[in-house]
Amino acid sequence: MQLESLDVSRNALSGDFPTIWSSHIEVLFANDNFFSGNIPSSFGRMSELWLLNLANNHLTGVIPVSLGRLSNLQLLNLANNYFTGMIPTSLSKCSSLKVINLGNNSLVGNIPHEFSQLSELYSLVVHTNTLNGAFPSLIANCSKLQVLDIGNNLFGGEIPISVTNISKLRVLVMKGNNFIDNILSEIGQLKSLQILRLSSNHISGSIPHTIVLFQAIAIENQDGFILSTFDGYYRDGLAMVLKGTKQYFEYILSTLTSIDFSNNELEGEVASNFGNLKGLRLLNLSMNNLNGTIPNSLGEMSQLESLDLSRNHFSGKIPRELEFLNFFGSLNLSNNNLSRIIPQGMHITSTFTESSFWGNPNLWGCPLPKNCTWRQYAPPPHPISMRKEKNNIEYPWYKIAMGLSYGVAFGGMLSLILTRISWRRKYFNKVDTILKFFFPWMKNLTL
């Protein structure tokens, strides 16, 4: 019998990675261990291999060119290691590749143009490397691509219009690069897009109104299916800041929606109909030069959990419509030019602290200390709710029941003593015995 599948993942195995493998192995999972050393070039002789997962180890060296001979390879996951050098162009010969994850290594160079030949590819993750050059526009030829994560690299230049041709794209992460120029108005053509992260670049211009055309974000209540599943062997994950804390999602649900344009050079106003994106959960426009008023329509985003508009030039009042957001857990409107009183509804004033509003000189009311009188600004209790409070007064029923039981017992015994001669005699004889036991000098006395 020949070995066809080997799974030694999630152990504490260490040492150099083995150099000799059976050419008949189809599945090899050695992820989440402490293996070190290089991937042997002999891997190229494993002609039957179609799943290879070596992520989360201490592997070093370059990615072997010989992997390009694995014609049946569909999954290649080498994330979270210490690989150096360039991404081998030979991988484009693995025409069956569906998932490539090389994230969090020390790779250099660009994404090979030859990757445009990977017609079956639906997930390409290369974040947190030192890759550079222009946006890999030829990736647009990968018509089945759903996840593209090139964040935290050194890519630069303009965002090419060809990216809007990837019609099935659901996750586009380009944060932490050197992209410039405007956000394409044609980006609204990506009807399936649910996560768009362009933060920490040098993007300028205004936010295009076509953003509201993202149909996958406009759906208020949608089915929560998992993206990019690979028959249970692989799921795309994503790190996000949600409700003020960094969270890692081991898989991406279709209900996980986010738009992050923070730390750029955007200017102008936010479209008044931005609230059409009713399924949006996270919106971050902080650290830009945006101005105008905060659209009232944001209050229509019923799924919104986190809103960050800090460090801009927004003016006017805070929309009271934000009070109606039931899932609201994180709000930052600090360092703007907002004015008038903070809406004094119970949700905003009880959930968020002063830090959510400071840096707005003309803004006042609780929770800011300026003109904050809780009794004055808190909404008066409704008469109906007051009556309910009176009706819902809690009584110490346990103590009442105990008192009643003792009273009934004592009263019953007293009535028997008073009404029945035999009980009365027994009672006083018992009392007489007890007294003579404790007080011997009473033995000569009789009742």
* 325 and 426 part of one domain: no
* 268 and 330 part of one domain: yes
* Gap between the Cα atoms of 248 and 365, Å rounded: 36
Structure tokens at 86: 């360039």
Find out whether 130 and 110 touch, Cβ atoms under 8 Å.
no
Domain C-terminal end among 377, 394, 425: 377
Residue 383 falls within a domain, yes or no? no
Token pair 């103590």 in the structure block, residue:
399
Domain residue limits at 425:
403-442
Structure tokens at 165: 């041709």
Closest CA to 228 of 145, 167, 117: 145
Q: Give the three-class secondary structure for 259.
A: strand
* 42 and 190 part of one domain: yes
Residue 247 falls within a domain, yes or no? yes
* 158 and 79 part of one domain: yes
* 313 and 432 part of one domain: no
Find out whether 344 and 366 touch, Cβ atoms under 8 Å.
yes
Residue 398 falls within a domain, yes or no? no
Structure tokens at 206: 């205004």
* 414 and 268 part of one domain: no
* 289 and 429 part of one domain: no
Phi-psi region of 311 (alpha: psi -120 to 50; beta: other; left: phi over 0): left
Domain C-terminal end among 326, 343, 377: 377
Residue 386 falls within a domain, yes or no? no
H or E element that contains 109: strand 108-109
Residue 343 falls within a domain, yes or no? yes
Residue 235 falls within a domain, yes or no? yes
Question: What's the predicted TM-score (pTM) here?
Answer: 0.80
* Gap between the Cα atoms of 430 and 433, Å rounded: 5
Classify the C-alpha dihedral 345-351-356-361 as positive or negative: positive
Residue 179 falls within a domain, yes or no? yes
Count the Cβ atoms, other than its own, within 10 Å of residue 102.
25
Total domains in the chain come to 2
pLDDT score, position 374? 52
Give the CATH number, domain containing residue 104. 3.80.10.10
Mutual angle of helices 421-438 and 397-419, in 10-degree steps: 100
Question: What are φ and ψ of residue 341, in 5° steps?
Answer: -80, 145
Residue 108 falls within a domain, yes or no? yes
* 305 and 204 part of one domain: yes
* 301 and 427 part of one domain: no
Question: pLDDT by residue for the chain (447 residues), tens digit each?
Answer: 577 888 999 999 999 988 767 778 899 999 999 999 999 888 888 889 999 999 999 999 999 999 999 999 999 999 999 999 999 999 999 999 999 999 999 999 999 999 989 999 999 999 999 999 998 877 778 889 999 999 999 999 998 888 888 889 999 999 999 999 899 999 999 999 999 999 999 999 999 999 999 988 988 766 666 666 666 777 778 777 766 677 777 777 778 899 999 999 999 999 999 999 999 999 999 999 999 999 999 999 989 989 999 999 999 999 988 888 878 888 999 999 999 999 887 677 778 889 999 999 999 988 888 878 654 444 444 444 444 444 444 555 555 666 666 666 666 666 666 666 666 666 666 666 665 555 565 555 444
**Residue spans of alpha helices (H) in 214-365:** 215-218, 346-351
pLDDT score, position 101? 95
Q: Quick check: bond before 367 cis, omega within 30?
A: yes
First-to-last alpha carbon distance for the chain, in angstroms, is: 104
Domain C-terminal end among 342, 377, 412: 377
* 347 and 412 part of one domain: no
* 310 and 352 part of one domain: yes
pLDDT score, position 397? 55
pLDDT score, position 388? 45
* 371 and 411 part of one domain: no
Closest CA to 117 of 147, 137, 92: 92
Contact partners, residue 10, CB within 8 Å, separation at least 6: 31, 32, 33
Closest CA to 206 of 140, 133, 326, 290: 290
Structure tokens at 34: 């402490």
Please name the amino acid found at residue 213: L
